[in-house]
Structure 1
């Protein structure tokens, strides 16, 4: 059990910022829980959400015991995997993403990740269109930045990411255009500025495997 850092009264005070809450969520929350609550991503972008939503996620993390390595973590992963399998059965058509290699891996013996392996990556996400507006990013040159880590091919991220990353080698940088069906679909992701049926473009760097 993880000890609470902030009480309910402290959370609503001006002394605890949205970034403080996000840092606690990322430090202790199960990855599948963070994904479910839509608070997985760079601290800067997640902190754009209303404070009330972040407090709700913080309280729920303790109510459900959804900590890293907990039973709740395992259970949520199973639920995500079930949804993933269902989606795959519905869509047997051609791939809904296009990939182009921007920079090849500097290591000729670099390998591609296997489904279920943990990977770490950096990225820039843009709306696919004339303006190419950036809606999210996590870059190594940003001070104190860490990679986005998750088990690839298990539904922890949008399907276009899962499928594209399984084709990449460590050290490779790729431009990936993802159609709405393998991105955020008809609902979009309004809090991130992604509208319904929006095609997305990502520049992804596969930093490491394992």
Structure 2
């Protein structure tokens, strides 16, 4: 068992909240999780000692957390547009454009299996400026990877603007239509987990209970 085998549900909830809002204070984090501020401080110190969280990112080995890792090559005549669209996607941990004439954008994605399946099917394969994609599952990860927290996608507005903060839970970082207007989310028996940055997310890992 790797170093991530000692994570419990509270640790995952803390990671999920920090992932969505890395600027959250320890006091507000304690309120969200239901622990004292001292207990939160102890857990954060342990997660930092384990190398799982640092400023702006979390370091994980997906296989130790039940997550899938995939490499996706997207071919397009407008690589810069594709990079801009998907650079804030919570499933995309890295994205590369190339200077040659291949018109290829490469994405490394991590998430739950159905989350990735529908993200690729709905948001990548159907993007109007992508002509074709090649997706490959990565089965042998030699080094843990950093997941960058997207503070721009879930800002902490403060108590006085809680309604505004919650309203953003319906906006996808890729600017596609919300899940409640998506046939993949509505018509497939809940198979699509939805975007972790929205109130529609049904998965287990990035769930913090604040819906």
Q: TM-score, normalization: structure 2?
A: 0.29
> When you count helix as a share of all residues, which structure comes out higher?
2
